[in-house]
């Protein structure tokens, strides 16, 4: 019996018959345009929709209507929307599906008269994703009001995967829009960011991991599930072999990274989502790719590089699983590799890096990446210079091109001239001496020339960060980010799970102080089990302590786990993004209740637990007297404080570098905070990026800070600066210079360091 158009939804998952018919269309004859026309007609018929349309992403963030059934056919290739414009643009901008029973009433609705869509009320659209990018938008519409079910949304998402294959195949693009590759044979200099210091020379080896999925629809789901099971088993075995290899002879601190990587590979939520996708009728490869696309879309909304890299491990695992499904165990280049090679990749995971012969690996160039990525940490363990975010490196570098990697300044020299090679060779010799000095000083105290002791702490967020404590001679953990275990799980971690983690962190600290930051999520750091919240400005929205106080059970459970994990040992805890003293009072009250609860249950509780507050929101600067009566310490989060103080979004490249961290405004705020804490007998530290650069760290010491927390890679240089500084003389000089400063103090401080032999 045929249901009337616009009637109730079928309420089932993706139809295997529909997928099979789509596969036949994909494999059939005719142009890509004609096949796309057939696909939208088929979708409309199967999903009982009057309209099905496909928009394709074009250059310049434009979405062009490429095929439709139900709308005016003359609108095809004429109707265009910007990303973010209209409902179609909203789906493209967010990379999220959207289903609306009354589309014209939606604030994002954009009416285009040439399409003739006036009669249609209900609207559903899904992004066409491939490789983490939105390639287009697929929509259906109905005249009658229709509440599209989750199963129907999932059906259209699965179909969109099939359409993505047609779009990325290149047939959709018009000949005049296909850019011809640019041949680069002359010397070139590429710019990126320094992820791991050092200099290296070698020949380029290009790392390519993309596996082409040729069969989207499964002939027999049972067979696909068995193939998936075997591939997962083989993948786990190969990772176990890497871990065993490390234990046998290894790579120093990288062992914890591999252990964490193996933990991700066994994540039940990730594997079960792939299993469910196979159940819908997709092939094993297509199911992996679908979950990979979903994860990539999530990563695209996360701006915190540390968190992006943690989620990126799943992208790496998906590539590895696809390789095992294809009967390969590694994406490492086949054949003979040069004895001195520089690996060039869009992105690469820690296990993939170790697939290459580490005896021949000299440097690494990435189009993506951050200093906190697992691959960067592994590269540091292997002593390999790394330059990341090197745009178009894969296009501009040819295999076996001579390469020089400057990991100190974020530069890559491609086919360098002889004079560049000569300069780099001398610099390598100088750098070797500098690194030897840092290693020799790792056990020396961070004390200034005039006898002031400085505490150099470590920023961490994974167990894999903990071995750095000994390697660089850090005094403790000044900031332990607790949100990573919450973000990689498909459900909220239990108190027992959290307790085990915090216990291991304190164990690995071996008596050194550890300060835990309570859950700092929201904004760009979303939890998969939280309902999506659409905020116009998430950086100023529902995040951090605001979530903790609105959902006190979550915060209490985390505090409970911290107390139980400490098992009577001292630790510090600090609350992020506190805006007024009443928020601190409320958070401290929850903490005190958990301490009392633990004592009543006989759980050991240390008398030396310290409760602090993060100074990130400027409003707290004018409440410090009250704050310091309720807090044991203050830790400045300079990254957020900087962006809020100057109203400059640190993720916006146009304004992020507009204001210098050594400008008078921020300097005055930090000086005031340090003075207030000193008067109240409370300690103050800084755990943002500002602490990690010697010239900024020197300035902080001059303002009265005596505890700085930073990444492991920065401690050697900062310690050397501290030991070369006469702090008393510099502090007096700085107090005079900053009074009348109108612009950044950086030039003046740099000149002081040069004139007084301070190592910056």
Exposed/middle/buried for residue 480 (C-beta within 10 Å: 0-12, 13-18, 19+): buried
- Asked if 75 and 65 touch (Cβ cutoff 8 Å), the reply is yes
Length, in residues, of the chain:
760
Cα 242 to Cα 352: distance, rounded to the nearest angstrom: 10
Across 219-234, b (16+ Cβ under 10 Å) vs e yields eebeebbebbeebbeb
Cα 34 to Cα 44: distance, rounded to the nearest angstrom: 16
The strand pair at 199-207 and 402-406 is best described as: antiparallel
Candidates 56, 47, 49; CA nearest to 21 is: 47
Q: In terms of C-beta distances under 8 Å and separation of at least 24 residues, what long-range contacts does 237-246 make, across chains too?
A: 238/320, 238/324, 238/329, 238/351, 239/265, 239/351, 242/351, 242/354, 245/354
> Cα separations (Å) of 756 from 121, 185, 330, 737, 750?
73, 46, 53, 16, 10
Per-residue 3-state assignment (H helix, E strand, C coil) for 77-134: CCCEEECCCHHHHHHHHHCCCEEECCHHHCCCCCCCHHHCCCCCCEEEEEEEEECCEE
Catalytic residue set: 374, 687
Cα 561 to Cα 566: distance, rounded to the nearest angstrom: 8
Q: State the DSSP H helix or E strand holding residue 684, giving kind and residue range, or none if neither.
A: strand 683-686
Cα 494 to Cα 486: distance, rounded to the nearest angstrom: 10
Tokens 């005039």 map to which residue? 450
Candidates 107, 98, 92; CA nearest to 141 is: 98
- Tokens for 482, please give them: 């607790």
Cα 367 to Cα 388: distance, rounded to the nearest angstrom: 6
Cα 201 to Cα 342: distance, rounded to the nearest angstrom: 7
- Asked if 349 and 257 touch (Cβ cutoff 8 Å), the reply is no
Across 312-345, b (16+ Cβ under 10 Å) vs e yields bbbbbbbbbbbbbbeeeebbbbeeebeeebbbbb
Cα 542 to Cα 701: distance, rounded to the nearest angstrom: 34
Tokens 């291991």 map to which residue? 504
> Cα separations (Å) of 713 from 195, 257, 439, 517?
9, 16, 12, 21
- Asked if 630 and 582 touch (Cβ cutoff 8 Å), the reply is no
């Amino acid at each position: 019996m045929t249901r009337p158009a616009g009637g109730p939804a079928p309420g089932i998952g993706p139809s295997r018959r529909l997928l099979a018919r789509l596969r036949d269309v994909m494999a059939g004859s005719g142009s890509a345009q004609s096949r796309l026309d057939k696909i939208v007609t088929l979708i409309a018929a199967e999903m009982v929709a009057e309209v099905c349309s496909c928009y394709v992403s074009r250059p310049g963030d434009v979405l062009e209507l490429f095929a439709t059934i139900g709308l005016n056919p003359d609108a095809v290739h004429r109707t265009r929307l910007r990303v973010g414009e209209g409902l179609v643009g909203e789906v493209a901008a967010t990379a999220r599906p959207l289903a609306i029973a009354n589309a014209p009433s939606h604030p994002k609705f954009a009416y285009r008269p040439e399409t003739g869509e006036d009669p249609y009320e209900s609207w559903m659209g899904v992004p066409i994703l491939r490789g983490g990018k939105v390639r287009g938008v697929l929509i259906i519409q109905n005249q009658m009001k229709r509440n599209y079910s989750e199963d129907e949304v999932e059906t259209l998402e699965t179909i969109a995967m099939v359409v993505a294959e047609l779009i990325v195949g290149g047939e959709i693009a018009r000949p005049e829009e296909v850019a011809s590759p640019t041949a680069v044979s002359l010397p070139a200099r590429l710019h990126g960011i320094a992820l791991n210091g050092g200099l290296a020379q070698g020949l380029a080896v290009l790392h390519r991991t993309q596996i082409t999925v040729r069969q989207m629809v499964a002939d027999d789901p049972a067979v696909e599930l068995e193939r998936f099971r075997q591939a997962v088993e083989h993948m786990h075995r190969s990772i176990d072999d890497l871990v065993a290899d490390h234990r046998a002879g290894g790579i120093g601190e990288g062992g914890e990274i591999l252990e964490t990587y193996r933990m991700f590979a066994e994540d039940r939520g990730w594997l079960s989502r792939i299993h469910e996708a196979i159940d819908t009728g997709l092939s094993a490869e297509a199911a992996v790719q679908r979950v990979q696309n979903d994860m990539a879309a999530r990563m695209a909304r996360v701006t915190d590089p540390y968190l992006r890299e943690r989620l990126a491990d799943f992208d790496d695992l998906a590539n590895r699983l696809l390789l095992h499904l294809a009967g390969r165990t590694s994406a490492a280049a086949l054949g003979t590799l040069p004895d001195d090679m520089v690996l060039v990749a869009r992105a690469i995971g820690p296990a993939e890096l170790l697939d290459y012969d580490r005896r021949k690996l000299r440097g690494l160039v990435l189009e993506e990446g951050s200093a906190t990525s697992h691959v960067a940490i592994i590269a540091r363990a292997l002593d390999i210079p790394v330059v990341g975010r090197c745009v178009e490196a894969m296009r501009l570098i040819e295999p076996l091109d001579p390469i020089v990697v400057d990991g100190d300044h974020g530069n890559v020299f491609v086919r360098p001239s002889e004079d560049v090679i000569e300069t780099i060779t001398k610099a390598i010799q100088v750098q070797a001496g500098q690194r030897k000095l840092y290693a020799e000083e790792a056990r020396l105290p961070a004390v200034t020339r005039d006898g002031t002791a400085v505490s150099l702490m470590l920023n961490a967020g994974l167990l894999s960060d903990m071995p750095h404590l000994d390697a660089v001679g850090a005094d403790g953990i000044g900031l332990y980010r607790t949100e990573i275990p919450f973000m990689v799980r498909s459900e909220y971690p239990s108190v027992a799970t959290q307790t085990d983690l915090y216990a291991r962190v304190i164990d690995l600290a071996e008596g050194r102080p550890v300060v835990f930051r309570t859950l700092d999520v929201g904004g760009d750091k979303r939890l998969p089990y939280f309902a999506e919240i659409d905020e116009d400005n998430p950086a100023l929205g529902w995040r951090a302590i605001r979530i903790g106080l609105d959902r006190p059970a979550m915060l209490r459970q985390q505090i409970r786990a911290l107390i139980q994990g400490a098992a009577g040992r001292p630790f510090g805890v600090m609350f992020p993004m506190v805006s007024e003293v009443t928020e601190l009072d409320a958070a401290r009250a929850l903490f005190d209740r958990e301490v009392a609860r633990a004592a009543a249950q006989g759980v050991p509780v240390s008398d030396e637990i310290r409760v602090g507050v993060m100074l990130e929101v400027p409003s707290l600067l004018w409440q410090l007297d009250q704050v310091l009566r309720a807090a044991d310490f203050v830790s400045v989060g300079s990254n957020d404080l900087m962006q809020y103080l100057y109203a400059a979004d640190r993720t916006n490249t146009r304004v992020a570098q507009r204001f210098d961290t050594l400008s008078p405004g921020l300097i005055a705020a930090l000086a005031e905070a340090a003075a207030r804490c000193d008067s109240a007998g409370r300690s103050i530290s800084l755990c943002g990026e500002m602490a990690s650069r010697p010239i900024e760290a020197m300035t902080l010491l001059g303002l009265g800070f005596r505890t700085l927390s930073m990444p492991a890679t920065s401690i050697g240089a900062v310690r050397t600066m501290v030991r070369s500084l006469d702090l008393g003389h510099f502090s007096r000089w700085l107090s005079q210079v900053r009074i009348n400063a109108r612009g950044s103090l950086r030039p003046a401080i740099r000149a002081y360091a040069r004139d007084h032999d301070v190592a910056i």
